[in-house]
Amino acid sequence: MLNYKTVTNLATIEAEPLQAAAPRPKVGFVSLGCPKNLVDSEVMMGLLHHNGAELTPRAEDAEIIVINTCSFIDSAKQESVNTILEMVQHKRQFGGKAQRIVVAGCLVERYRDEIQKNIPEVDAVVGTGELEAILAAAGLTPSGHAQTNSPFNILPQGTPEATIHTHAISMSQTDGEVAQLEATSMQAGQNLIDRAPSAVSQHSRPLADPEHDREIAPQLRIVQSLAETGTTHGDEPLNHTGDHIAHLPAGIDAGNTSRPEGDLRQQQGRFSRESWDGATAALPEYLYNDATPRILTTPRASAYIKIAEGCDHPCSFCIIPQLRGKFRSRRMSSIIAEAENLIKQGVREITLIGQDTTCYGEDLGFTDGLATLLDALAVLPGLRWLRFLYTYPNKVTARLLETMAKHDTIAKYLDVPLQHASASVLKTMKRGGNAQIFLDLIAKARRIVPGIVIRTSFIVGFPGETEADYKELEAFITAAKIDWLGVFTYSDEEGAKAFELPDETKLPNRTIQARRRKLMKLQQKISTKSKAEWVGREIDLLVEGESEETELLWEGRTSLHAPEIDGKVFINDFGPHETLVPGTFYRAEITESHDYDVVARILE
């Protein structure tokens, strides 16, 4: 059993009789939506665990169930509601063990009062800016641990009481040694790991059975914050918790500043929630930092770091600014410290995320803040791959591209949602740009960063999109030859400016779906030809494990594949190895290709 005990002051330990630890409530988590939401879930899980809760992947065993929801588009809202209703069935009145249902995330920001009114079985709600309120929502209070450099502590590793293992990795260990450590851990608990899709989202990895295993399963692990380990670079004591290294321009306070664009748009009503019944007027302001407890749910070699929160852009189809608040950057020093700590604990691939990573640092007084941050992170010892997601096209600067080109550790991967190619549609979207501007940007990226892959997404069926607009988008995709491409159908969201456009501009769903199908068929041909050019390449491959499609194949990713969203590399030949170790890097050769996926054999 995972036995977590309060740290007692050494001066009083002999005077106080030992008492049995109070039963720890079991908490199950469902995390829906994007990686940004997943990080929020990891923070809430960390807060709960460090304050006495026990995490379980089995909804039927959970006394408290937390659903972290998405509310970006209609389909996401429906999935969130369906999941809440599914989890409600595990409450006591329906024969389950759950005593509390907590709903968190974007759906709460949109329908805060309506959720409990319409689903009375929900006991508490937690918005995107209230992550620390998860304790009260779950019926817990801060544990009252002895205060050192942090309000959170865990017992030193290796003691009988501290049976939660972080598998801290020495910086001198090779990837092979790390892999062997992880393989040993996985073999010890492989028969005890039970995937429970209804209790843990597709992003999450399950816990080992706490009744029979002595640790959290290798895929789901505690990440000690710097405040807990008490170090910054391995041996330098913390002066104080959280943002302990000052790299900000004078007079700047992270989290309490904003971009001028955001201030202006707030005055113009960009963040208004007046049309939302049940929503509060206050915008989220929360930012986690390197001292925040967090439990990673990603595969062991990989982790996300959220570098900023919120968005100031005026996109007329989007309600994320209302859901997440104004754009706000984390301190650069806090991000660097978190990355260093993750690397020390075995992470080799870091993906930076934010609603718009290219705005990073503008509210802190930085110019080209993302490039500056990448320069600092790319040289950290032990890091193999560094990637950033979600950029804005007019903020992809030459310096950013040059920074990508000069560091081997930075993935040659640019995720830049363009949304459309027609100037008239982009104007109504309040995005700006046109097909030629975007073609020039792609050409510049390919010139400055040889071998770069481009990922983008488009919206079809936006109000007022004509057949000519659609044809222009089709021609752009043909000319641009995008590597990874997604197409979304327009979703009419109350609160978005596009929602207010005249009904006669709204396209029939049949037309919208037909345009999406045609674009995806076009992209399939482009991708098939592109992937055929991969055959014969030698690549570095991060092995992720046995394929979910068949036990005859394994799967992995190159640095040109972002986690979960791009195609796959299937492995059908282990080369000199009898077996492969998930979370390990291998040298491989691409031997065949398909529409979106490729097949590889291991070389070494």
Give me the residue spans of the domains in the chain. Answer: 26-140, 266-311+326-410, 412-532, 538-602
302 φ/ψ angles, rounded to the nearest 5 degrees: -125, 150
Topology at the third CATH level for domain 412-532 = Transcription Regulator spoIIAA (3.30.750)
pLDDT the model gives residue 266:
87
How far apart CA 149 and CA 449 sit, in angstroms, is 43
Q: Look at the chain and count its residues.
A: 604
How far apart CA 71 and CA 110 sit, in angstroms, is 7
pLDDT the model gives residue 248:
46
HEC profile for 213-250?
Answer: CCCCCCCCEEECCHHHHCECCCCCECCCCCCCCCCCCC
pLDDT the model gives residue 176:
42
**Burial category of 489 from C-beta neighbours within 10 Å (exposed 0-12, middle 13-18, buried 19 and up):** middle
457 φ/ψ angles, rounded to the nearest 5 degrees: -140, 155
Task: Give the residue from 558, 482, 475, 474 showing the smallest Cα distance to 526.
Answer: 482
Integer-rounded Cα radius of gyration of the chain: 24
**The listed CATH number (3.90.1150.10, 3.30.70.20, 3.80.30.20, 1.50.10.100) that belongs to domain 266-311+326-410:** 3.80.30.20
419: tokens are: 């949304």
Of all helices (H) and strands (E), which one includes residue 76?
A: helix 74-88
pLDDT the model gives residue 469:
98
DSSP state of 25: P
Give long-range contacts, CB 8 A cutoff, 24+ apart: 83-91: 83/30, 83/32, 84/115, 84/119, 84/122, 85/119, 86/198, 87/28, 87/30, 87/59, 87/198, 88/119, 88/121, 88/122, 90/59, 90/60, 90/62, 90/65, 91/121
* CATH number, span 538-602: 2.40.50.140
How far apart CA 55 and CA 207 sit, in angstroms, is 7
pTM of the model: 0.81
- Residue-wise DSSP of 320-379: HHHHH-S-EEPPHHHHHHHHHHHHHTT--EEEEE-TTGGGTTGGGT-SSHHHHHHHHHHT
Cβ–Cβ < 8 Å for 300, 221? yes
Longest dimension (CA), the chain: 82
Q: How many CA atoms lie within 13 A of 457 on its CB side?
A: 14
Task: Give the residue from 74, 79, 92, 88 showing the smallest Cα distance to 118.
Answer: 88
How far apart CA 46 and CA 49 sit, in angstroms, is 5
DSSP state of 316: T
How far apart CA 118 and CA 500 sit, in angstroms, is 26
Which amino acid appears at position 97 of this protein? K
Task: Give the residue from 275, 271, 257 showing the smallest Cα distance to 331.
Answer: 257
Is the CATH number of domain 26-140 3.30.70.150? no
- Residue-wise DSSP of 518-566: HHHHHHHHHHHHHHHTTTT-EEEEEEEEE-SS-TT-EEEE-TTS-TTTS
How far apart CA 451 and CA 25 sit, in angstroms, is 51
- Please state, in angstroms and as integers, the Cα–Cα distance from residue 182 to each residue in 12, 208, 232, following that order: 38, 14, 25
Task: Give the residue from 306, 325, 269, 329 showing the smallest Cα distance to 109.
Answer: 325
The b-or-e profile of 174-199 (16+ CB within 10 A means b, else e) is ebeebbebbbebbeebeeebeebebb
**3 state DSSP class of 488:** strand
- Residues of the chain short of pLDDT 70, as ranges, are 1-22, 143-256
Q: How many H helices and E strands in the chain?
A: 15, 20
On the question of a common fold for 26-140 and 266-311+326-410, the answer reads: no
Q: How far is Cα of residue 460 from the mean position of the Cα atoms in its chain? A: 25
430: tokens are: 């309040």
Strands 484-489 and 349-353 turn out to be unpaired
Task: Give the residue from 480, 107, 440 showing the smallest Cα distance to 458.
Answer: 480
